[in-house]
Amino acid sequence: MYPSGMRNKIRIAIISAEDPADRKGWSGIPYFISRALQEGGDEVVLLGPFSNPELPLRIASSLTFRLSKGINWLIKKFTNSRRYNYDDSLTVGVIFARFFEKKLQEQEPFDLIIAPASITAISQIKTAVPIFNVGDATFKLLNGYYPYISNLVSISRFETYTTEKLALHNSTLNIYSSEWAADSAVKDYQVPTTKIKVIPFEANIEVAPSKAEVQKTNFSFKLLFLGVDWLRKGGPIAFECLTTLRGTGLDVELIVCGCVPPPEFQNPHVQVIPFLDKNKPESYNLFVNLLADSDFLLLPTRADCTPVAFCEAAAYGLPSITTDTGGIRGIIEEGVNGYMLPLAAVGKDYANLIARLYADKEAYLQLCLSTRAKYERELNWSVWSKKVKELFLGI
C-alpha cells in the first residue's frame, strides 16, 4: 500500500540545489532519474534548483554566500591555496533546509523524496516524508582523491563531513552506485547497513538504440576518450596507448571528446572535440554517433567514482578499457563489458590489451554483444527506477 493511500502511482519530490532538469548537472543523472520515474508511471515534481527564495531567506542566503566566498578568498590567499568549501557548510545546510521545507509545504503531500547528489540540501531538512539519498561517493573517499574537494582547512573538513553525516542519518535510505561508496558510509559515517543499498548508475541516453542497430561487424580502429579533465581521466596514458599501437602497425585514431589536451599532445591521429552540451540536439547526436562509431571507450582514469560514460558506452555495445580505481567495479564486469587495469598500468599496458583484442575479431565481437547484454540487464534507468520503487514499497 502506498503511504498516502490506495493510489496507482507514487508522488515523488526531486530535491536538488542545482537544476534537475539540466542534463549537464551531475552528468545528467538527476534529469534521467526524474524521467525514468515518470516513464515508470509515477508523478515527479522537481523542487530544485535553489533560486529566488522569499525576502528574509534571500537576504540571509545572499549574505551567507558573499561572506563564505570572502572567507574562501582570504584562506586561499594566506594559507598556500588551502580553501573553505562553503557549498557544504552547516550554514548553507540551514538555508537549503528552510527553502526546501517551504517548497514541500506548498505542494500536495508527497510519498517520497529523492535527493541526487544533494547532501547539503537534505542534511538539516525536517519532514515526515521518506528521503532516498542518491550518491556515488562520500567526502571521506573524495578528500585527497579528487582535487576539487581536497586541500580544505580543518574547519571546512569538519563542516563538510558533519553535513554529510547529518544527511546520511537523516535519510531513510542511502542508495549508492557502488560497494566502494556504500562501505564508506557504513565505516566512516556509522550508517546502519539497513539504511544502505547499492544500485549501479545507468546510461544517460535519450532513446536507446535497438540491439540490431548497434551490432558491430567490423573494426573502425577508433578509440574514444571521454572526459572534461584531461589529466584526471588519464589523457597522457591514452595518448601513450595510441602511439604504442601505431608503432606496432595498427592504424588507430584517438578521439578526445570533452576537453582540449595540452599542446604537447597534438598529433595528426588525435581528433579533438571540445565539451559537448547534451542539452543541444546537435551536440547530443554527435555524442551518440561517437559511441556508435568507436571500437573501445578508453578511459585510463586516475580517480573516478562510477562514470555513467561506461553505461552509455554499453548501450552501444562499446566495451570500456579503464582503471581499477574508486567505484568503477560497480559498473565494469571484467571480460563482460570491458577490462580494468591496475592504477600503476601505463600506456603500453593498455596498448597490449587492446592489441590482443584487435587480433581476435570473434572474441571482440562477442565482447560487444555481452557489453550490450549487460546494458539491457542492468545498466538502464528503467531497471534503476524499478529497484527504487521496490525499495520504497518495502519501507
Could you tell me which residues come within 8 angstroms of residue 219 by beta carbon, excluding any fewer than 6 positions away? 295, 358, 361, 364
The one-character DSSP state at 248 is T
Q: Same structural domain for residues 18 and 126? A: yes
Nearest CA to 310 out of 320, 296, 298 is that of 320
Q: Same structural domain for residues 191 and 301? A: no
268 and 298 Cβ atoms separated by less than 8 Å? no
Does 233 reside within a domain?
Answer: yes
Q: How far is CA 128 from CA 99, 104, 112, 265, in A?
A: 16, 11, 10, 54
Question: What's 276's domain CATH number?
Answer: 3.40.50.2000
363 burial (CB, 10 Å; 0-12 / 13-18 / 19+) is exposed
* Percent of the chain whose pLDDT exceeds 70: 97
The verdict on whether omega for the bond into residue 49 sits within 30 degrees of 0, i.e. cis, is yes
Q: Same structural domain for residues 232 and 315? A: yes
Task: Count the Cβ atoms, other than its own, within 10 Å of residue 152.
Answer: 20
129 and 111 Cβ atoms separated by less than 8 Å? yes
Does 277 reside within a domain?
Answer: yes
Q: Same structural domain for residues 171 and 286? A: no
Does 211 reside within a domain?
Answer: no
Q: Same structural domain for residues 257 and 171? A: no
Does 209 reside within a domain?
Answer: no
The per-residue pLDDT for 2 is 47
Average pLDDT score, the chain: 93
Q: Which domain holds residue 94?
A: 11-202+381-393
Strands 338-341 and 320-323: parallel
Q: Same structural domain for residues 305 and 196? A: no
The per-residue pLDDT for 389 is 94
Indicate the number of domains in the chain.
Answer: 2
Q: Same structural domain for residues 166 and 247? A: no
pTM of the predicted model, to two decimals? 0.91
Lowest mean pLDDT among 50-59, 112-121, 199-208: 50-59
Q: Which residues pair with 271 in a beta bridge?
A: 255
Lowest mean pLDDT among 81-85, 122-126, 129-133, 293-297: 81-85
Q: Which residue has the cell 599542446?
A: 263
Q: Same structural domain for residues 187 and 273? A: no
Does 217 reside within a domain?
Answer: no
- At 83, the pLDDT band (50, 70, 90 cuts) reads confident
Position 377 pLDDT exceeds 50: yes
Q: Same structural domain for residues 334 and 362? A: yes
Q: Same structural domain for residues 330 and 318? A: yes
348 burial (CB, 10 Å; 0-12 / 13-18 / 19+) is middle
Sign of CA dihedral 91, 95, 98, 100: negative
Does 32 reside within a domain?
Answer: yes
Does 3 reside within a domain?
Answer: no
Q: Same structural domain for residues 18 and 161? A: yes
Q: Which residues pair with 256 in a beta bridge?
A: 225, 272
Q: Which tens digit of pLDDT belongs to each residue from 157-210?
A: 999 999 999 999 999 999 999 999 999 999 999 999 999 999 999 899 988 899
Position 6 pLDDT exceeds 70: no
Does 103 reside within a domain?
Answer: yes
Q: Same structural domain for residues 96 and 57? A: yes
Q: Which residues pair with 340 in a beta bridge?
A: 322
Q: Which residues pair with 176 in a beta bridge?
A: 135, 198
173 and 185 Cβ atoms separated by less than 8 Å? no
- The separation between the first and the last C-alpha atoms of the chain, rounded to the nearest angstrom, is 11
- At 321, the pLDDT band (50, 70, 90 cuts) reads very high
Interatomic CA distance for residues 216 and 223, integer angstroms: 15
Interatomic CA distance for residues 355 and 84, integer angstroms: 46
